Amino acid sequence: MRPNTFNGPVRLARMLAIGAALVAGTTLASCARDPNTTGSLPDDYRTRHPIVIAEAERSIDVPVASGDRHLTKGARDVIRGFASSYKNDASGAVQIMLPQGSVNAQAAQAVRKDIRGALVGAGIPATRLIEVSYQADPNGDAAPIRLTYSAITAQTAPCGNWPSDLVVNTVQNKNYENFGCASQANLAAQIASPMDLLGPREMSPIDAVQRGQVITDYRGIPTGTETTININN
């Protein structure tokens, strides 16, 4: 019989070594970084710069020259587009902000009637139009007429956060604070309706005529001969 060469102290030392190795492995595993984070910043740009649904002001500036007495065709088209966006996104008041004290103040007063007419003609009730004035620079250029309304908008926080040295962060393999902000802001600006981020829209009714035409085209049946088909075949 082979003698037992493992005495008590040696066996205890080996067990302690194995236990120490297990503890070290557990410690290293616990120190491993979350794959979703890099340093102190989330690695996912959607977490750093989330798109949120919030109220925001939408506005356009209508340029008015000091000699204008009526809206130009181009300005009228822009106002119609503004009115279309308002009808899709809001139901509150529309402010018509007229410059006061500027070189074109009198021209703006003359043009405001055309602006009101263009907005009402585009489907905005006259009762929702509010005229206010703002102090313009008397020594500056011709001040515009500003149209504004508030609506629920998809947006992100302002971009441009550069608090640290990008060279150091690149060496340390860390994402910088502003990374992904422009992409998120552009995506938020392209969303047709912010409500689409909250849930799907209601499905439209089925078009029976179109459905029948699609089935006919799929079967390869000439139009007008559908009634001659024996459905038992």
Domain count for the chain: 2
Say how far apart CA 83 and CA 59 lie, in whole Å.
11
Q: Which of 21, 55, 61 is nearest to 148 (CA)?
A: 61
Residue 227 has pLDDT above 80, yes or no: no
Note whether 62 and 127 are same-domain residues: yes
**Six-digit token pair at 132?**
């206010």
Q: Which residues pair with 130 in a beta bridge?
A: 95
Among candidates 45, 39, 82, which has minimal Cα distance to 60? 82
At 203 the pLDDT is 85
Q: How far is CA 20 from CA 6, 14, 149, 217, in A?
A: 20, 10, 68, 73
| Whether residue 109 has pLDDT greater than 70 | yes
Residue 69 inside a domain? The answer is yes
Q: Domain containing 126 — which CATH number?
A: 3.30.1330.60
Please tell me whether residues 184 and 149 are part of one structural domain: no
Which domain, by its residues, includes 76? 52-155
User: Comparing C-alpha atoms, which of 64, 129, 60, 58 is closest to residue 99?
Assistant: 64
DSSP string, 57-100: EEEEEE---TT--S--HHHHHHHHHHHHHHHHH--S-EEEEEEE
Pair 149, 164 in one domain? no
Same domain, 61 and 44: no
CA 64, CA 105: separation in Å to the nearest integer? 9
| Residue that the structure tokens 């500027």 belong to | 102
Q: What's the pLDDT score for residue 6?
A: 45
The whole-number pLDDT of residue 232 equals 54
Same domain, yes or no, for 130 and 192?
no
Residues 63, 104 contacting (CB under 8 angstroms): no
Both tokens of 207, joined, read 């078009």
- pLDDT cut 90: percent of the chain above it: 46
**Domain assignment of residue 26, yes or no:** no
Is the pLDDT reported for residue 32 higher than 80?
A: no
Average pLDDT over residues 51-67: 93
* Cβ partners under 8 Å of residue 89, min gap 6: 58, 151, 152, 153, 193
pLDDT at 100 over 80: yes
Same domain, 130 and 164: no
